[in-house]
Structures are given as C-alpha cells and as structure tokens.
C-alpha cells in the first residue's frame, strides 16, 4: 500500500541533541514549567489516566446491561456509575482532550510564536485540572454521585444524599481550567502571530480552536454559577429550584444547558480541527473552501449559544419557545454539514493514502455524519418527544463524541506523535487498532439506536427481556472497543523507546510545526518565521524540498 511517510535513514538517524524534552531535568522542571509543550505532555498523561477511569465505569455499565435483570449492581450503584462515567468523560476527558494536549502543543508553533500568551496561566490551567480530578476522584471513593452528569434539580438539590457538592466543586474547578486555556488561545491567536501570518493564512486547526475558545470563555462561567446555586441550595435550601417553595427547577436546566450545549461544540470543534489537518495532509490537497470551513467554525460557536433548550423539550418549556429552539437547532446543523461537505470535496481527486491518522479521520467522517444526522432528528420536537431519554439519545451523543471526537483525538495523537516525541509509532499495530476501534464502536453503539427507538429508556439498569439481544451485541462491541483503546496505550508507550526516528516532517505536511525539528526546541523557532504563503500550500512545500538538502533545526 502506498504511503507518504518519509522517515530519515534509520541507520544514522538520531533524535536532536537538544529539545524541549531534555531542556532541564527533574520533577521541578516539569511541574514548574512554562513551556506549552511540556504542559501539553502533562495534560496528555493526566487525561489518559482519567479516560481509563471513565472507560472502566462504562465497562461495568455494559456488564450490568448484559442481562435484563438488575443483577450485577444495586440501583444506586448503577446511578453512580453512569453519573461518574458522564462527569469524568465529559469534564475530565472530552473537554480538555484536543485543546489541552494537541492544542497546547501545536497552536503556538502553528501561529509562529515562541509560547502561548500567558505561560503561567497555562500551567495554572493544568493544576486546576488536576485539582478538579482529585475532587471528582474523592467524590468517587467516598461514595459517589448519582444525580446523572446533568445534576437535574430538584433531584440533586433536595432528594439525594450523595456527594453532589464535592462533584460540583470538581466540575467548577475543571471549568476554570477550561476557561484559562480558552483565554490563552484567543489572546495568542490575536496577538502573537508571526509576521506575514494573516488570519486567512492560519491553518484551519487554529480557526476551530479559536471558535472553541470563544465557547469556553463565554459559556463555562454560566455552568460555574449554576453549580454554586446548586451548592447553596443544598446547604441553605431557600427554594431557588424547589417548586414546593416557589422556585423553578427549569431555571436550573436553562442555566445548565446554556453552557452544556455549547460544551458539546467545545468538545467537537477541536476534533474537527484535527480532521482538517489530517484530511489535507493525507490527500495532498489544500482543504476545499478554506473560507467556508473557517467561518463555519465560528458560526458553530455563535449559533451554538442559541439552541440549548432542545435538551428541555419535554421538561415543561412553553411550546412557543420549543418551536423557536427547534428551528434554531436545524440551523446550527448547517455549518457542521458545510465542513463535512468541504472535507469530502478535499478528498475528491486527492492523492489519498491510508496511514493511521487518515483511517481515524475516515472513521470520524462516517460516524460523525451519522451522529450529527440523528441530532437533527432529535432537534425536531415531534421526534424528540418519543426519542428523548431513550437509548437513541445515548447512541446519538456517543456517535458524535466517541465515533466523532474520540476518533479525531486518536487521529491527532497519531498525527502529531512524531512531532511531540520525535518517534514514530508502529504503523501496522496502529492500523489494526484503528480498525478494531471502528468495528467495536459500530457494534457497541449502533444497536443502541435500535433499542432506543424501540423504547428502552436510558439510565435504567433493568429492561424488558426482548431488548437483551441488542444489549448483548452492544456489550460485545464494548469489549472490542476496549481492546481498541488499550492497544494505543501500549504501543505508543513502546514507541517512546523503540519507535523509529521520525525526523522533522515524516508526513510531508505543510504548517510551521512540520518545518522545525522533532521534538521541537523549547523556544520552538531558532529565528522568528515569516509567513509568505497560504495554508496547505503543497507547491511551496515541494519548492522548499527542492532547494534544501537538510531540514532547518
């Protein structure tokens, strides 16, 4: 099979003598670093840790659902499992996944800067993330939370005696970690682009992360104040959300979903950022309709603020407002679709090769499309009334978040791994892993669409026996999926020591990060770059290779 992989001669290839990895040794040099690349690595380790914790909850959930009877865990335990699965996966994995690891690492390099605008705040961001994780772990080991990750009132404020406040504090802190990352990104993109780097020469990765950062900065604080109100309500109990005291439980939901809907765009936009880069590189073509893709990222961010009540259609909002939100939900699907169309057009007549990042990207295109389409179904009130709170919803968001975002994350990790570590992962293992993941994913989540349509409610650990076959299929798929996720952990770690030396540009990609050494120097560039060509300019790259024997740095 053809490949564009271009590695240096392994006989005499060596990692660069000086890079950000060996610029200073010892725990203190890592824990007190200001280097965005080191912080990205710190995030990578902690995010992976929490991913596997969240995944293990999912494993137990799927085990319970093998049988229709509630026979593995007690009801309360089951509630705690899906709550903690949601909280850990959303706030400790999906939200920071691409921005905090890949974004932190490559964004400054892509704009031609030496670091993010506020390195200390970047480090603070990571510490806040770790504290958030500790709080949530503490909530876990001291008995768990069982409100559902949505903390719906008045259940969470009046009727449960679990560690709601602890978990809420953890999420609050994680929110600020997210806010500071977004703040850093926005300022960096505005103020620290190198000479010649106009807005429309930026890689689309930057545009999508810029849009994500806007969502982080404007949306997350509303979640913060909502959690404060929940905590106050639990302690003082005035009735802000309590109908028996004149409060409105729906007020909580309005405030909660005002963040949590933009949150899903916070989670998916960085994945789309990765896909833009990967699809272009592995079809050797500039992204079709650069401007459309750039503006659609921003449009997703803006429209994403207008649609939150589609999570509340059956909760008691007025029909009139439900109509308005339903209409707006239809509109918000348009920019996402534009991106899918443009990526498809990029592939058309491109020189496509099937390296691992591209395999994951193809997985993303198909699975995100299905997930996104089902989102449009759910946006129409008539369908939502029947499908909401069933496994159809569960399948929908897992298709976009796992089939979409997680695949994009893995795509990005594989794509930038040679840049971050200087080494290549084993290609045959990784391809096999990607295929296993894809197969496992379909097996896990496609049956859930069917079983949800047939009426199986979500968040229940018992179900009518006629749904068992589909549930068994789903659990079988989950096992395969688990293997698919464990393998990268193993072979990526292996590659740190034994992987092939990658060189500065193994994928022959455009973009400033590929023109510097792998792994990069602490200050990224020896001299400030001057950008004089458009993004995804493969002619420029070919030209450069003709005029140069060795790569810079």
Partner 1 sequence: MDSQAIATGHEESPEAHEHPPYLRHHFVTVEQQAETASFGMWLFLLTEIMFFGGLFMAYLLYRNWYYDAFVASSNTLGIGLGTTNTAVLILSSFTMAMGVYSAETRNRKGLLTSLSLTIMLGLVFLGIKTIEYHDKYTEHHIPGANFSVEDFVHPTDKRDVPLAPDMAQHAQLFFFLYFAMTGMHALHMIIGISILFILLVQAWHGAYTNGHTSTIDNFGLYWHFVDIVWIFLFPLLYLISRHPLK
Partner 2 sequence: MSTPTEHEHHIVGPKIYLLILCALLVLTATTTGAAFINMGVFSPIVALGIACIKAVLVILFFMHIRYSSKVLMLTVAAGFFTFLVLITMTLCDYVSRAWGLW
Looking at beta carbons only, is 36 or 254 nearer to partner 2?
A: 254
309 binds, among partner 2, partner 1, none (CB under 5 to 8 A by kind): partner 2
Looking at beta carbons only, is 25 or 320 nearer to partner 2?
A: 320
> Distance between CA atoms of 284 and 4, rounded to whole angstroms?
9
Q: Which of 317, 470, 502, 512 binds partner 2 (CB under 8 A)?
A: 317
Looking at beta carbons only, is 219 or 304 nearer to partner 1?
A: 219
Q: Contact between 306 and partner 2 (CB under 8 A)? A: yes
Q: Contact between 118 and partner 2 (CB under 8 A)? A: no
71 binds, among partner 1, partner 2, none (CB under 5 to 8 A by kind): none
State the residue for tokens 């069982």: 146
Looking at beta carbons only, is 26 or 246 nearer to partner 2?
A: 246
Q: Contact between 320 and partner 2 (CB under 8 A)? A: yes
From the CB of 320, what's the least distance to partner 2, in Å? 4
From the CB of 359, what's the least distance to partner 1, in Å? 31
Looking at beta carbons only, is 493 or 543 nearer to partner 1?
A: 543
Q: Which of 105, 282, 305, 446 binds partner 2 (CB under 8 A)?
A: 305
Looking at beta carbons only, is 287 or 521 nearer to partner 1?
A: 521
Stretch near partner 2 under the rule CB under 8 A, chosen from 186-194, 366-374, 414-422, 477-485: 186-194
SS3 345: helix
SS3 531: coil
> Distance between CA atoms of 96 and 266, rounded to whole angstroms?
9
Contact 456, 467 (CB under 8 A): yes
238 binds, among partner 1, partner 2, none (CB under 5 to 8 A by kind): partner 1
Among residues 277, 425, 287, the alpha carbon closest in space to that of 346 is found at 287
SS3 521: strand
Looking at beta carbons only, is 240 or 394 nearer to partner 1?
A: 240
Cα maximum dimension of the chain: 77
> Distance between CA atoms of 548 and 208, rounded to whole angstroms?
32
DSSP string, 109-123: HHHT-SS-S-HHHHH
Q: Contact between 190 and partner 2 (CB under 8 A)? A: yes
> Distance between CA atoms of 181 and 174, rounded to whole angstroms?
11
Evaluated on CA atoms 301, 302, 305, 306, the torsion sign reads negative
Give the footprint of partner 1 on residues 145-184 (CB under 8 A): 179, 183-184
Q: Which residues contact 29 (CB under 8 A, 6 or more apart)?
A: none
42 binds, among partner 2, partner 1, none (CB under 5 to 8 A by kind): none
204-235 and 104-111 helices, crossing angle to 10°: 140
Neighbours of 320 (CB within 10 A): 8
Stretch near partner 1 under the rule CB under 8 A, chosen from 89-97, 133-141, 322-330, 538-546: 538-546
321 binds, among partner 1, partner 2, none (CB under 5 to 8 A by kind): partner 2
Contact 115, 108 (CB under 8 A): yes
Q: Contact between 324 and partner 2 (CB under 8 A)? A: yes
Tell me how far CA of residue 454 lies from CA of 385, 393, 467, 492, in angstroms. Answer: 14, 12, 9, 41
> Distance between CA atoms of 477 and 468, rounded to whole angstroms?
14
Looking at beta carbons only, is 258 or 364 nearer to partner 2?
A: 258
Among residues 185, 192, 178, 175, the alpha carbon closest in space to that of 207 is found at 185
Q: Contact between 261 and partner 1 (CB under 8 A)? A: no
**Could you give the residue ranges of the DSSP H alpha helices within 142-203?**
164-191
229 binds, among partner 1, partner 2, none (CB under 5 to 8 A by kind): partner 1
Q: Contact between 523 and partner 1 (CB under 8 A)? A: yes
DSSP string, 228-255: HHHHHHHHT---SS-GGGT--HHHHHHH
Q: Which of 483, 489, 526, 542 binds partner 1 (CB under 8 A)?
A: 526
Q: Which of 7, 532, 539, 542 binds partner 1 (CB under 8 A)?
A: 532
> Distance between CA atoms of 224 and 170, rounded to whole angstroms?
11
State the residue for tokens 């549930």: 471
Contact 152, 253 (CB under 8 A): yes
Question: 378: which 2 tokens?
Answer: 């759910």
Q: Which of 254, 398, 419, 423 binds partner 1 (CB under 8 A)?
A: 254
Q: Which of 7, 13, 200, 245 binds partner 1 (CB under 8 A)?
A: 245
Q: Contact between 25 and partner 2 (CB under 8 A)? A: no
> Distance between CA atoms of 74 and 461, rounded to whole angstroms?
9
Stretch near partner 2 under the rule CB under 8 A, chosen from 123-131, 249-257, 454-462, 502-510: 249-257
Give the footprint of partner 1 on residues 81-120 (CB under 8 A): 113-119
Question: 105: which 2 tokens?
Answer: 């690492």
Q: Which of 55, 215, 222, 361 binds partner 1 (CB under 8 A)?
A: 222
> Distance between CA atoms of 226 and 370, rounded to whole angstroms?
32
Q: Contact between 248 and partner 2 (CB under 8 A)? A: yes
530 binds, among partner 1, partner 2, none (CB under 5 to 8 A by kind): partner 1
CA neighbours within 13 Å on the CB side: how many for 136? Answer: 31
Q: Which residues are near partner 1 by CB under 8 A?
A: 113-119, 121, 179, 183-184, 186-187, 190-192, 194-195, 217-222, 224-226, 229, 232, 236-240, 245-248, 251, 254-255, 512, 515-516, 523, 525-530, 532-533, 540, 543-544, 547-548, 552-553
Q: Which residues are near partner 2 by CB under 8 A?
A: 190-191, 193, 195, 214, 218, 222, 246, 248, 250, 254-255, 258, 305-306, 308-309, 316-321, 324-325
């Amino acid at each position: 099979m053809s490949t564009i992989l271009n590695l240096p001669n392994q006989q005499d290839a060596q990692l660069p003598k000086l890079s950000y990895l060996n610029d200073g040794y010892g725990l203190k040099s890592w824990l007190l670093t200001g280097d965005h690349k080191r912080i990205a690595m710190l995030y990578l380790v902690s995010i992976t840790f929490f991913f596997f914790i969240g995944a293990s909850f999912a494993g137990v959930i799927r085990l319970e659902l093998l049988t229709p009877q509630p026979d593995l865990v007690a009801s309360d335990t089951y509630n705690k499992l899906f709550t903690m699965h949601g909280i850990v996966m959303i706030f400790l994995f999906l939200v920071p996944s691409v921005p905090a690891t890949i974004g932190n690492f490559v964004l400054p390099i892509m704009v031609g800067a030496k670091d993010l605008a506020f390195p200390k705040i970047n480090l603070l961001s990571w510490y806040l993330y770790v504290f958030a994780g500790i709080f949530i772990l503490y909530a876990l080991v001291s008995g768990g939370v069982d409100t559902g990750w949505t903390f719906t009132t008045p259940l969470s404020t009046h009727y449960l005696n679990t560690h709601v406040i602890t978990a809420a504090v953890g999420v609050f802190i994680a929110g600020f970690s997210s806010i500071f990352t977004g703040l850093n990104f926005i300022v960096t993109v505005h103020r620290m682009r190198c000479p010649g780097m106009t807005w429309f020469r930026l890689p689309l990765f930057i545009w999508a992360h810029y849009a994500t950062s806007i969502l982080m900065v404007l949306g997350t604080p509303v979640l913060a104040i909502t959690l404060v109100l929940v905590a106050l309500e639990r302690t003082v109990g005035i009735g802000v959300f309590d109908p028996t005291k004149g409060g409105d439980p729906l007020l909580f939901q309005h405030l909660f979903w005002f963040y949590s809907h933009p949150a899903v765009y916070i989670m998916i936009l960085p994945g789309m950022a990765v896909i833009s880069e990967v699809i272009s590189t592995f079809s050797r073509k500039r992204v079709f309709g650069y401007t459309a893709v750039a503006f659609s990222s921003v449009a997703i961010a803006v429209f994403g603020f207008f649609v939150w009540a589609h999570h509340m259609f059956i909760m008691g909002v007025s029909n009139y407002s439900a109509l308005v939100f339903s209409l707006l939900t239809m509109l918000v699907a348009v920019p996402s679709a534009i991106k899918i169309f443009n990526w498809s057009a990029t592939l058309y007549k491109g020189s496509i090769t099937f390296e691992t990042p591209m395999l994951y990207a193809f997985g993303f295109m198909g699975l995100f499309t299905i997930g996104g389409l089902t989102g449009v179904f759910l946006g129409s009130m008539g369908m939502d009334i029947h499908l909401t709170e069933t496994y159809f919803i569960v399948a929908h968001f897992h298709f976009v978040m796992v089939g979409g975002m997680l695949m994009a994350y893995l795509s990005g990790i594989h794509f930038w791994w040679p840049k971050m570590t200087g080494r290549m992962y084993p290609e045959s293992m990784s391809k096999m892993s990607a295929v296993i993941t894809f197969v496992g994913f379909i097996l896990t989540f496609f049956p859930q669409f069917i079983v949800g349509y047939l009426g199986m409610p979500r968040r229940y650990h018992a179900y009518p026996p006629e749904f068992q076959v589909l549930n068994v299929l789903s659990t079988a798929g989950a096992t395969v999926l688990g293997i698919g996720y464990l393998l990268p952990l193993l072979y990526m770690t292996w590659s740190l020591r034994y992987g092939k030396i990658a060189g500065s540009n193994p994928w022959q990609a455009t973009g400033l990060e590929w023109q510097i050494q792998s792994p990069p120097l602490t200050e990224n560039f020896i001299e400030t770059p001057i950008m004089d060509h458009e993004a995804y300019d493969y002619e420029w790259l070919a030209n450069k290779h003709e005029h140069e024997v060795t790569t810079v740095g």
